[in-house]
Copies of this chain bind each other. A is one copy, B any other.
């Protein structure tokens, strides 16, 4: 068990700032604890002897030993209170008090002091600006929220306290239970990663769910969540997905918005299942908290109603699942057991006069089929069907097989009692067939998360020292961008480039051109000229005899364009045959939360107009690099669509991995684009380079 057990399961809880003043937060918390908690509750307030019938202490040091302190003192007193708490040896603190970083300057300074004290005493601090925490381990409601949680196996964290209040009220009506609930507040000390780690170690947490507006340390979160999701599914609503939402989230929590693409990639790599709404959050977690894993994607649909059966089938079509293709034996058995009018092909329509027993027979038969990974029972209310009996039948069949079954007993009031019975046995009931299927879909997604193996990033043999020297060139410049003159960076990291050289006199240009077979491409090399083509700074198909004049012309154009431009020379490069090749782009930029974000796409319109790209947080291994290539829409173009010879996809995949290694080795590289990386049948070649270096960071790049 992790280090936060005492936070959720203390024997003694103190409320520092407890009061009996009506409407005060310090009273609400004390009331909640008094009314629910199994352990001792200790009010602390220097101006009271007794609060709500409990003996009150002047300060923490005079109180009996406490394991959890809930702090509701004024903002300026919080740091001092934490110090006192730390002195007594108590390590777990929930700071309810608001008025910290969420309020700007002065508050941010208060929060900095709070963090310092926490570090001095190694305190586990939730908050500040938290609604509090709850745990059904010991019936503890250490929050000022009006609702207690029902016992269950879902642990829930939220960056919004109001979200917790709203969800608990609704969950209580729905009979959905929780293990631990945490209002994260400003996350000054403990953040989402800490709770993911804690609940990953908690055998009684079946599902971790959360509402987050930002993730503080994306890297660490990904690493932690990856390990946890081997055992425990994580379902998150990460809000601020849209531009408008991101702006609202940033003004709500003051978080620097990372890019949605980075969150999308990072959370996916972490194995997190993402929900877009409250409803999805619970539709997924209800299925994940009580059902076994589906061992295949085939879904059996058993229904007494044709129309809802078709709707369910559409929902399966929309999902990652598929309608199971029954074995012949299954169809024979169904045909023997069901009435003639029934449809024994999936979706199975056992028709309107079906009772619970007929549902049971059909369900038994399909759950034996090895092509059936999961099943959904969809029913419309009829005169001959008792929903309570149907619920019991479903439970019985579900328990007899290691196959997940969800229910969609349609209807209103008449479905409620059955729904409750199903819930007690871990079977979610959904009103809408599409939601029932999305529950099954979440199970299959989680199975895939568990089954995937994430290969270790390969460590290619590279010349790191040479790369460092090349990057250091940027320190001598006025600006921190490097271009084609630094193509030797690719050589250092084993990324193929065309033959060529940067030269600074026309005779040398001719020599280089002569050493290269065929015509050459010549480009002006100047950090001051970024759009070379626009000023005629690129010449293609230059024959050896024209190289001298071309050199002179390029330099003249550059001077003409900008008399004081730094001209580093002219690049003379082998002309790559583009007829049978495809231009791709491999790039990287750094996200404030997740770090290096790799991007892949096809060149030109594919990236610029169709926005057909894939992204991953680096470092990545071969499988993930290959997935980047496979998941763009235009990938068939690389694989030999329309009669073309397939490009060297392995070369592209390796280049992505080598770039991943480069940007991981050098945190000083802020942005880097290989554009284009030309992929032909015989290999790949990086043709052009743009990168930005953080010259301050250069010195701190790790050595190895």
Q: Which residues of A contact B (CB under 8 A)?
A: 23, 28, 103, 146-147, 158-163, 165-167, 169-174, 211, 213, 237, 239-245, 247-249, 251-253, 276-279, 304-311, 313-318, 322-323, 341, 343, 345, 347, 349, 352, 380-383, 410-415, 431-435, 604-605, 608-610, 612, 633-634, 636-637, 641-642
Contact = CB atoms under 8 A, between A and B. Distances in A.
Contact of A610 (B171, B172, B610): B610
Contact of A311 (B174, B278, B609): B278
Contacts of A347: 248
A381 B251 contact: no
Given A308-B160, A310-B213, A169 B278 contact: no
Contacts of A609: 633-634, 636-637, 641-642
A421 B315 CA distance: 34
Contacts of A310: 160, 213, 239-240, 245, 248-249, 252
B434 A381 contact: no
Contacts of A211: 307, 311
A281 to B, nearest CB: 9
Assembly of this chain: how many copies? 2
Contact of A23 (B161, B323, B383): B383
B433 A381 contact: no
30 contacts: A103-B341, A146-B382, A160-B306, A160-B308, A161-B352, A162-B308, A162-B352, A165-B382, A166-B410, A170-B431, A173-B412, A240-B314, A241-B317, A242-B318, A244-B323, A245-B314, A251-B345, A277-B315, A277-B434, A278-B311, A278-B432, A278-B433, A278-B434, A279-B431, A604-B642, A605-B634, A605-B636, A605-B637, A608-B641, A610-B633
B279 A411 contact: no
A491 to B, nearest CB: 31
Given A277-B315, A277-B433, A314-B245, A309 B252 contact: yes
Given A251-B343, A349-B252, A383-B23, A166 B317 contact: no
Contacts of A306: 160, 162, 252-253
Contacts of A245: 310-311, 313-314, 316-317
Given A310-B213, A633-B610, A641-B608, A304 B162 contact: yes
A351 to B, nearest CB: 10
Contacts of A249: 310
A412 B172 contact: yes
A307 B213 contact: yes
Nearest to A176: B412
B316 A412 contact: no
Given A243-B317, A248-B347, A166 B308 contact: yes
- Among A158, A172, A304, A310, which residue has the most Cβ atoms of chain B within 10 A? A310
B642 A605 contact: yes
Main secondary structure of the interface of A (DSSP, over half): helix
Nearest to A131: B352
Contact of A313 (B161, B242, B311, B433): B242
- Looking at A315, A412, A413, the one whose CB has the most chain B CB atoms below 10 A away is A412
A605 to B, nearest CB: 6
A307 B252 contact: yes
A252 B351 CA distance: 11
Contacts of A309: 248, 252
A75 B162 CA distance: 60
Listed residue (A159, A239, A608, A633) with the most chain B CB atoms within 10 angstroms of its CB: A239
Given A252-B349, A605-B641, 16 more contacts: A28-B383, A162-B352, A163-B308, A165-B411, A166-B305, A166-B308, A239-B310, A242-B316, A242-B318, A252-B343, A276-B318, A276-B434, A277-B311, A278-B431, A608-B642, A610-B633
A396 to B, nearest CB: 24
Contact of A277 (B28, B170, B432): B432
A244 B311 CA distance: 10
A53 B56 CA distance: 76
B380 A163 contact: yes
Contacts of A174: 412
Given A433-B278, A642-B604, A642-B608, A244 B316 contact: yes
A380 B244 contact: no
Nearest to A213: B310
Contacts of A608: 641-642
A317 B244 contact: yes
B604 A414 contact: no
Contacts of A636: 605, 609
A309 B251 CA distance: 11
A349 B23 CA distance: 21
B434 A279 contact: yes
Contacts of A173: 412-413
Closest 6 CB pairs of A and B: A160-B307, A242-B317, A173-B412, A162-B305, A166-B410, A245-B314
B165 A380 contact: yes
Contacts of A161: 307, 352
A158 B307 CA distance: 9
Contacts of A165: 380-382, 411
A610 B642 CA distance: 13
Contacts of A253: 306
B610 A244 contact: no
A381 B166 contact: yes
A240 B636 CA distance: 29
A308 B317 CA distance: 31
B162 A412 contact: no
A402 B413 CA distance: 35
Given A381-B165, A431-B278, A433-B278, A244 B322 contact: yes
Contacts of A213: 307, 310
B278 A160 contact: no
A405 to B, nearest CB: 19
Nearest to A534: B643
A162 B252 contact: no
B163 A305 contact: yes
Contacts of A411: 165-166, 169-170
Contacts of A28: 383
B311 A412 contact: no
Nearest to A240: B310
